[in-house]
């Protein structure tokens, strides 16, 4: 025993190095790097017993419930996969985690397996080489997705390129309480006049919020006379021609806003609180289904109604993406496939669950399933998605959005 | 084993955490602020981020706001805490209950307190509804704005509510280390109550008061969640500004976020240094 200790003391350095190495040497990846070369059945087998850490915006209880309970149960029962939903405040937080891991050289054992993502955040991931691509055509439910639709094949003007799977369609709509506000403004032009006759009754979240930013973009479209000259890559001359008109509109509205425009709600949740506390008369959201959910929860009055603008409202698709360094890619792919299945899309289209518009092409489903979608009841507070879709405006390339948000901050907020 | 080795070994865990995690994070943040981010190809070190920040008016307005909030919160908390400590020093009926009530919010997180402030003081909050009940206001906008307002009333209220017991407890502990004989002696020599306080008690508790107020100032200066929940958009407090830049979709804004974080760190370090200098001058052994 004493000889062993003496030996250990003599070779402390070597033992220390050996110990350190055995702990820090990366464990051989459980999955082969060429997962894209495997067949779907092999991927399902490999996914068994796996865990999926899905980082998604956690600001809506009904969505959290749907994901954790319904999706989680389906995954556990059918595929023996454990779903770990991680609620975050801002998708950029998840992107930051993957970014930090890449900078630290963590290329195989990442903390994030899936992110609910679109737009600028997706662009950051694609730009930084942070996203796993090339697996989408392996998913059996990929046949239900209409990749010919430009608004699905392009995420805010950036080609998806097999790097993400569509999950929901969303289209911006306004909401109001018809017992308090019998005649809400139905277009941006009408809104500009409306705030003058109804001071302090309207506000919008700051441009840092997703929904606030899209409202500002509606004003931008109005100032530009339509989105046509704004589509495509960022054009500084066009921006410099249109922006001053948009800032003038917003600055003219400013003194008639809530708190005389001295501050704006930080997030859409704040605006929701203001609306349900009757501090403001109008609310809006990318996801009109939330109006119905809130009425059912008792947060909004039953006299809540919603509408789209006469000139149209912006619509987009949101997706799920798998980071390049996820250690559970097989399980994540199985999850993404489940999300795009008829059962999952139908379940979340139910108005008391979420009421979210499906990202799959309903026309590609068999007749019986199509009928089920059509027969779905709709909460009277939620405007019909088909009606909204008649006047859908496209999203802009993220560089436009960045310029608009920055311009708003400098010209209107300050 | 020789003593030095034993001491080094015992200190090693704490030193590793401080040097590795804290200092490491600080060094990495500093590198990022100098625009050194190999991931997106920023390899040349430059001071662009600092120049951009120090030349933007938004930064100075945020700095002013943060300093204003910290200064007012600390000043009000100190005054109230000294008053509370003087009262709680005495014995009176119900002292245990009052003592407990005084300390109870030490365990309540700041975030919970902020939600409470929102619930009570927003224009559609509890007090506003009471005022509406008594016909004092007709609509939410008539109630004075105490949250999301330019004077940061809600934020200061929250900090004062939380920091008064904190400073008060430190002062009470401090006061227990010296006897009441000094003040008794002063009074017996003809000093008034105010003179006895100003010239005898205050210098004795000043070290503790200074250290506690420095902690409170540095904390309120660098705290994020209260201004984020209760504050205006623009100008926002310095930590909120830093976080907004950090979560900007544009990766190139990261160096500016790190630069802001470095500036906040430098400011806090300056305050600690200032305290050490002040303490040496005022502490009489």
Where residue A147 sits, what CATH number does that domain have?
3.40.190.10
Answer yes or no: do B141 and A398 touch at CB < 8 A. Answer: no
Asked if the C-beta of B150 comes within 8 angstroms of chain A's C-beta atoms, the answer is yes
| Angstroms from B260 CA to nearest CA on chain A | 18
Check whether residue A199 and residue A230 sit in a common domain.
yes
* Pair (A289, A324) in one structural domain: no
Whether the link from the prior residue into B77 is cis, omega within 30° of 0, is no
Cβ within 8 Å, pair B233-A413: yes
CB contact under 8 A, A120 and B38: no
**B83 reaches A (C-beta below 8 A):** no
A121 CB neighbours in chain B (<8 A) are 249
pLDDT single digits (tens) B168-193: 999 998 888 887 788 888 888 888 88
Residue B41 pLDDT: 64
A99 inside domain = yes
Interface contact B31, partner A, CB < 8 A: no
In this complex, which of B38, B124, B247 lies closest to A279 when CB atoms are compared? B124
Phi-psi region of A305 (alpha: psi -120 to 50; beta: other; left: phi over 0): beta
| A128–B145 CB contact, under 8 Å | no
User: How are strands ordered across the β-sheet holding A282-285?
Assistant: A282-285, A173-177, A304-307
pLDDT at A41 over 50: yes
Residues A321, A235 share a domain: no
Q: Mean pLDDT score of chain A, rounded to an integer?
A: 88
CA-wise closest residue to B232 among A276, A413, A88, A405:
A413
For residue A24, the model assigns a pLDDT of 43
Give Cα separations from B191 to A353, B141, B175 (angstroms): 74, 52, 20
Number of structural domains (chain A) is 2
* Residue B247 to residues A96, A189, B79, Cα–Cα distance (Å): 8, 33, 38
Per-residue pLDDT for A17 more than 70?
no
Q: Which of A4-13, A185-194, B70-79, B276-285 has the lowest mean pLDDT?
A: A4-13
pLDDT tens digits, A217-251: 999 999 998 888 888 788 999 999 999 999 999 99
Query: Does A19 fall in a domain?
Result: no
Q: Do A413 and B140 touch (CB under 8 A)?
A: no
Residue A16 has pLDDT above 60, yes or no: no
Residue appearing with tokens 């506390």: A277
Q: Is A30 among the domain residues?
A: no
Within the 103-132 window of chain B, which residues sit less than 8 Å (CB to CB) from chain A?
122-124
Q: How many CB pairs under 8 A join A and B?
A: 65
Q: How confident is the model at residue A6 (pLDDT cuts 50, 70, 90)?
A: low
Domain around A150: 38-167+317-379
Confidence (pTM) = 0.78
Contact residues on chain B for A5, CB-CB shorter than 8 A? none
Question: In this predicted structure, what is the pLDDT of residue B255?
Answer: 87
Please check whether residue A353 lies inside any domain of the structure. Answer: yes
Convert the pLDDT of each residue in A84-95 to its tens digit.
999 998 898 999
List, for chain B, all residue ranges whose pLDDT scores fall below the cut of 70: 1, 37-42, 249, 282-285
The pLDDT confidence band at residue A28, using thresholds 50, 70 and 90, is very low
Same domain, residue pair A51 and A140: yes
Please give the Cα distance from B109 to B86 (Å, whole number): 26
A27 domain-assigned? no
Residue A115 in any domain: the answer is yes
Task: Quote the minimal CA–CA distance from B269 to chain A in Å.
Answer: 27
Selected residue with higher pLDDT from A185 and A363: A185
CB A54 within 8 A of CB A83: yes
The C-alpha of B234 sits at a distance from chain A's nearest C-alpha, in angstroms, of 7
A210: chain B residues, CB-CB within 8 Å: none
Check CB contact under 8 Å for B40 and A263: no
Beta carbons within 8 Å of B209's beta carbon, 6+ residues apart:
B78, B82, B167, B170, B171, B174
Closest chain B residue to the Cα of A264, Cα to Cα = B233
Q: How much is the pLDDT for B247?
A: 81
Contact between B248 and A398 using a beta-carbon 8 Å cutoff: no
Interface of A with B in 245-284 (CB under 8 A): 258-259, 262-266, 274, 277-279
Give yes or no for B62 touching A (CB within 8 A). no
Q: Between chains, do A92 and B234 touch, taking CB under 8 Å as contact?
A: no
Residues facing A304 on adjacent strands: A177
For B124-163, the pLDDT digits (tens) are: 899 999 999 998 888 888 889 999 998 999 999 999 999 9
Rounded distance between C-alpha atoms, residue B9 and residue B130, angstroms: 62
Answer yes or no: do A198 and A78 share one domain.
Answer: no
What residue of A is the nearest CA neighbor of B36?
A103
The pLDDT, as a whole number, for residue A385 is: 79
pLDDT tens string A108-157 = 999 999 999 998 899 989 988 999 999 999 999 999 998 888 778 888 87
Q: Tell me whether residues B251 and A124 touch, CB distance under 8 A.
A: yes
User: Which H, E and C letters describe B191-216, residue by residue?
Assistant: CCHHHHHHHHHHHHHHHHHHHHHHHH
- The rounded distance, in Å, linking the Cα atoms of B205 and B85 is 11
Cβ separation A124–B38 shorter than 8 A: no
Q: Is the pLDDT of residue A8 over 60?
A: no
CB contact A156 to B (< 8 Å): no
**Among the partner residues A123, A200, A208, nearest to B244 by beta-carbon distance:** A208
Whether A256 and A365 share a structural domain: no
Q: Does A123 touch chain B (CB under 8 A)?
A: yes
- Residue A87 in any domain: the answer is yes
User: Quick check: B234 and A414 CB within 8 A?
Assistant: yes
What pLDDT was estimated at residue A27? 41
Output the pLDDT for position A25. Answer: 41
Q: How far apart are CA A110 and CA A240, in angstroms?
A: 42
Where exactly are the structural domains of chain B?
55-282
What pLDDT, on a 0 to 100 scale, did the predictor assign at position A151? 79
- Do A137 and A68 lie in one domain? The reply is yes
Q: Does the beta carbon of A102 lie under 8 angstroms from any beta carbon of chain B?
A: yes
The answer for A 174-203 residues in CB contact with B (under 8 A) is 200
Q: Per CATH, is B55-282 categorized as 1.10.3720.10?
A: yes
How far is it, in rounded angstroms, from Cα A80 to Cα A359?
A: 25
Closest among B92, B103, B226 to B153, alpha carbons compared: B226
pLDDT of residue A29: 39
Euclidean distance between CA atoms B36 and B30, whole angstroms: 9
- Long-range contact pairs involving B137-145 (C-beta distance under 8 Å, separation at least 24): B140/A277, B140/A278, B140/A279, B141/A200, B141/A258, B141/A279, B145/A259
Q: Which two tokens stand for residue A352?
A: 């008391």
When scoring A12, A57, A103 by the number of chain B Cβ atoms within 10 A, the one with the most, hence best to mutate, is: A103
- Picking from A135, A165, A123, A130, the residue whose alpha carbon sits closest to that of residue A324 is A130
In chain A, the percentage of residues whose pLDDT exceeds 90 is 57
A48 and A140 part of one domain: yes
């Amino acid at each position: 025993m004493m000889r062993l200790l003496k030996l250990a003391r003599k070779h402390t350095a070597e033992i220390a190095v050996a110990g350190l190495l055995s702990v820090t040497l990366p464990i051989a990846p459980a999955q082969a790097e060429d997962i894209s070369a495997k067949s779907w059945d092999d991927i399902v087998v490999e996914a068994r017993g796996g865990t999926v850490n899905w980082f998604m915006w956690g600001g809506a209880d009904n969505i959290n419930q749907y994901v954790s309970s319904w999706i989680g149960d389906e995954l556990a029962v059918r595929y023996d996969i454990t779903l770990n939903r991680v609620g975050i405040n801002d998708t950029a937080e998840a992107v930051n985690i993957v970014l930090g891991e890449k900078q630290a050289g963590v290329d195989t054992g990442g903390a994030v397996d899936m992110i609910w993502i679109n737009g600028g955040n997706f662009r950051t991931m694609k730009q930084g080489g942070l996203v796993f691509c090339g697996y989408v055509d392996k998913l059996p439910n990929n046949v239900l997705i209409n990749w010919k639709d430009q608004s699905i094949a392009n995420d805010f003007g950036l080609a998806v390129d097999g790097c993400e799977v569509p999950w929901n369609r969303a289209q911006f709509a306004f909401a109001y309480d018809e017992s308090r506000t019998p005649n809400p403004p139905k277009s941006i032009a009408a809104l500009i006049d409306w705030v003058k006759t109804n001071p302090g009754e309207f506000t919008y979240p700051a441009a840092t919020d997703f929904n606030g930013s899209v409202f500002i973009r509606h004003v931008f479209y109005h100032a530009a006379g339509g989105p046509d000259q704004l589509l495509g890559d960022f054009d500084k001359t066009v921006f410099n021609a249109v922006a001053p008109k948009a800032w003038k509109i917003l600055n003219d509205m400013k003194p008639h806003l809530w708190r005389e425009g001295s501050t704006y709600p930080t997030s859409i949740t704040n605006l929701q609180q203001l609306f349900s506390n009757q501090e403001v008369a109008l609310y809006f959201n990318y996801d009109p289904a939330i109006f119905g959910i809130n009425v059912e929860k008792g947060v909004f009055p039953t006299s809540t109604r919603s509408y789209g603008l006469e000139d149209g409202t912006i619509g987009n698709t949101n997706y799920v993406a798998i980071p390049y360094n996820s250690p559970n890619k097989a399980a994540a792919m199985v999850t993404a496939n489940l999300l795009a299945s008829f059962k999952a899309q139908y379940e979340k289209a139910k108005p008391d669950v979420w009421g979210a518009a499906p990202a799959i092409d309903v026309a590609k489903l068999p007749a019986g399933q199509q009928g089920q979608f059509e027969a779905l009841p709709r909460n009277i507070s939620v405007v019909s998605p088909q009606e909204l879709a008649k006047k859908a405006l496209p999203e802009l390339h993220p560089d436009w959005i960045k310029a608009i948000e920055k311009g708003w901050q400098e010209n209107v907020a300050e | 084993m020789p003593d030095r080795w034993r001491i080094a070994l015992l200190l090693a865990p704490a030193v590793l955490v401080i040097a590795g995690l804290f200092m490491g994070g600080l060094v990495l943040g500093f590198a990022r602020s100098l625009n050194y981010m190999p991931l997106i190809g920023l390899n040349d070190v430059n001071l662009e981020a600092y120049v951009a920040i120090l030349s933007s008016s938004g930064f100075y307005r945020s700095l002013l706001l943060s300093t204003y909030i910290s200064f007012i919160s600390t000043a009000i908390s100190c005054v109230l805490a000294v008053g509370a400590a003087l009262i709680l020093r005495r014995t009176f009926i119900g002292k245990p209950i009052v003592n407990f009530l005084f300390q109870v919010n030490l365990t309540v997180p700041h975030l919970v307190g902020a939600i409470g402030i929102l619930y009570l003081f927003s224009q559609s909050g509890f007090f506003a509804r009471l005022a509406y009940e008594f016909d004092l206001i007709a609509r939410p906008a008539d109630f004075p704005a105490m949250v999301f307002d330019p004077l940061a009333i809600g934020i200061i209220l929250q900090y004062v509510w939380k920091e008064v017991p904190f400073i008060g407890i430190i002062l009470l502990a401090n006061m227990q280390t010296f006897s009441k004989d000094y003040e008794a002696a002063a009074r017996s020599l003809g000093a008034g109550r105010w003179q006895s306080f100003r010239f005898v008690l205050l210098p004795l508790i000043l070290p503790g008061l200074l250290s506690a107020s420095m902690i409170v100032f540095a904390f309120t200066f660098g705290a994020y969640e209260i201004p984020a929940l209760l504050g205006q958009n623009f100008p926002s407090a310095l930590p909120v500004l830093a976080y907004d830049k950090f979560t900007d979709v544009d990766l190139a804004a990261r160096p500016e976020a790190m630069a802001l974080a470095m500036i906040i760190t430098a400011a806090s370090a300056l305050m600690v240094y200032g305290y050490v200098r002040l303490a040496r001058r005022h502490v009489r052994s």
